Amino acid sequence: MTLHRPSSWPSIGTAAMVAVLAGCSSVADPPFDDVPPNVVEFVTNELPKPRQIDVEFRDDGNGLLIFSASYGEPQDCPAGCFYLMAWGLAYRDQVGWIGLSVPTGTTSFYDVKPEDSQLFADQLWDDLKPLYVFGAFRMMLTCDADTPASALVRLAERLPQEGWPFLASLLLNEAQRRDVRPVAEVIARLVSSEWNFTAPRERAALVLNDWPGVPLSGLDCPRR
């Protein structure tokens, strides 16, 4: 397994807040080195003016690759240009988006399958934790109805170490929709660390008294 470009940035709380610094010059021949052809084809078909594709994480033994792509027109020049960003996953003969900085109208998000066992492995989550994409990856798993209930419980159990309160609330909403009570039980016991889990903890305690209750309005998954 290979990690590429680990980042000290925090995990993203929402895909709409993401952008990355880059050069302003036009890219006539985008640098797509070391990127599988199916990923290059996917990105170039999906994004307007792709600028660069980078491998963020690669596990050749399990045929899993996470990549990022910058695209579009340069923004905020000449002070310091940046491009829009997208993150994707190639695994088990499927390529799809994990998250995009700005919605493009695409429906080509990665469709999690129950048999995608490697995506639910603690080792993979540990490997992805230093990466900027980890927040969007956890949201992808939370929001897909085919993510096993046991994986949702483990996502909840890891919240004190990995954050964040928004994800706790999102997990609780999805647990209510799918009737996965153990997720709510974990969230109701969360102890605040560097993240303040007071709001999701109190709401979990309330919904457990009248399970499953009504999910919180206005807190839908990004692709729902």
Alpha-carbon distance of 181 to 131, in angstroms, equals 30
Question: CA 98 to CA 118: how far, in whole Å?
Answer: 15
pLDDT band of 79, cuts 50, 70, 90: low
Percent above pLDDT 70 for the chain: 82
Statement to judge: residues 114 and 160 lie in one domain:
no
Helix/strand/coil percentages in the chain, nearest 5: 35, 20, 45
Instruction: Mention every residue, 6+ apart, whose C-beta is less than 8 A from residue 12.
Output: 18, 99, 132, 133, 135, 136
- Crossing angle of helices 198-208/165-178, nearest 10°? 20
> Domain check: are 112 and 176 in the same one?
no
Residue 53 shares a structural domain with residue 112: yes
Write out the E strands in 76-178.
82-91, 94-100
Record the tokens describing residue 39, joined without a space: 């990923």
Whole-number Å distance between alpha carbons of 122 and 65:
16
User: Would the pLDDT of 218 be above 80?
Assistant: yes
Classify the C-alpha dihedral 77-81-87-90 as positive or negative: positive
Predicted confidence (pLDDT) at residue 42 exceeds the cutoff of 60: yes
pLDDT classification of 105: cutoffs 50, 70, 90: confident
Q: Give tens-digit pLDDT for 112-149.
A: 999 999 999 999 999 999 999 999 999 999 999 999 99
Closest CA to 62 of 36, 92, 42: 92
* 128 and 214 belong to one structural domain: no
Tokens 């483990």 locate to 154
For 32-46, what is the mean pLDDT?
Answer: 90
Q: Is the pLDDT of residue 201 over 80?
A: yes
Task: Provide mean pLDDT across the span 93-121.
Answer: 92
Whole-structure pTM value: 0.84
Tell whether 7 and 88 lie within a shared domain.
Answer: yes
Q: pLDDT category, 107, cuts 50, 70, 90?
A: confident
- Strands 82-91 and 20-21, bridge-based pairing: antiparallel
26: pLDDT strictly greater than 50: no
Q: Are residue 69 and residue 107 in the same domain, yes or no?
A: yes
- In whole angstroms, give the CA distance from residue 109 to residue 28: 27
Domain closes at, from 108, 132, 156? 132
Q: Read off the pLDDT band of 80 (50, 70, 90).
A: low
Last residue of a domain, one of 67, 101, 132: 132
Dump the DSSP string for 54-66.
Answer: EEEEEEGGGTEEE
What type of residue is 151?
A
- Quote the number of domains for the chain: 2
Q: Based on the domain organization, do 125 and 49 belong to the same domain?
A: yes
What does the pLDDT read at residue 29?
Answer: 52
- Report the C-alpha gap between 201 and 28 in whole angstroms: 51
Are 7 and 118 part of one and the same domain? yes
Confidence of residue 189 (pLDDT cuts 50, 70, 90): very high
Last residue of a domain, one of 105, 132, 159: 132
Residues 115 and 172 in one domain: no
- Domain around 116: 2-132
Mean of pLDDT values over 180-201: 95
* Same domain for 42 and 92: yes
